[in-house]
Structure 1
């Protein structure tokens, strides 16, 4: 039960560095297999290099292809945003006219009819148009 505070600090530091290393390793693999410009043999070569010599492989990958990682992420984020916006536009365009809008129009027509601004025939004709729409 004798574990000094500095040893706890070092243990936590190594643990978090270990977690960050795995996050970086997974990030490299995700980028590697997401890249469309790299051939299958190129992907296999990088994967073997990163698996056999993980520290050197990841650092060389980051040096050689690090700039492209950001560009590929940005391009994919823009494509996702574009697809989302397109979906929202399509969904909004397909929305049928809702009942409250018809109810508002019928309420306005009834108010005009009660004030005498429109005749009974005009009221019935307009009401039929609103309900048919």
Structure 2
């Protein structure tokens, strides 16, 4: 119970906990960057990983010094690719505009597939009429 008796012991504990968590984040960032790097051969990746296991602090410092710039570039490329993929997916599943829906309904009406009553229903639904709006999932 002597640990909790001093305020500075508690502060020192939190400082070391912060340093340890920051170190773990750096290690996991380095490992993920190793697997993301397509230019580095498998043997060199294995050497970096073995060095991270046996001499983690020095190896992580060396990795960040010598490969930090490439690490940032690969991380940026991955973030951009992820953003582009998400935006493409959103565009692919997004609903059409109300004017497009009305135009499609008009084409169906003109072709005789639907009657005027169904056209009015589709038109009201496309314009967001509360009585005819589709339920959200």
- Which TM-score applies when normalising by structure 1? 0.69
The 5 A counterparts of 1:7-86 are 7-86=9-88
Label 1:97 to 1:59 Cα distance change in 2 as closer, same or farther (>3 A): closer
- Which TM-score applies when normalising by structure 2? 0.67
Label 1:90 to 1:7 Cα distance change in 2 as closer, same or farther (>3 A): same
CA-CA distance at 1:88 after TM superposition: 2.1
Which of 74, 79, 88 lines up with 2:90 in the alignment? 88
Inter-partner Cα distance in structure 1 for 2:21 and 2:108: 68
Label 1:127 to 1:19 Cα distance change in 2 as closer, same or farther (>3 A): closer
Can you give the 5+ residue segments of structure 1 that lack an aligned partner in the other structure? 107-125
- Other-structure match for 2:109: 128
Inter-partner Cα distance in structure 2 for 1:91 and 1:127: 22
Which is greater in Rg?
1
RMSD: 2.7
Inter-partner Cα distance in structure 1 for 2:64 and 2:84: 28
Normalized per residue, which structure has more helix? 1
Label 1:129 to 1:32 Cα distance change in 2 as closer, same or farther (>3 A): same
- Runs of 4 or more, structure 1, over 4 Å off, are 95-98
Which of 4, 7, 15 lines up with 2:6 in the alignment? 4
Q: Number of aligned pairs?
A: 108
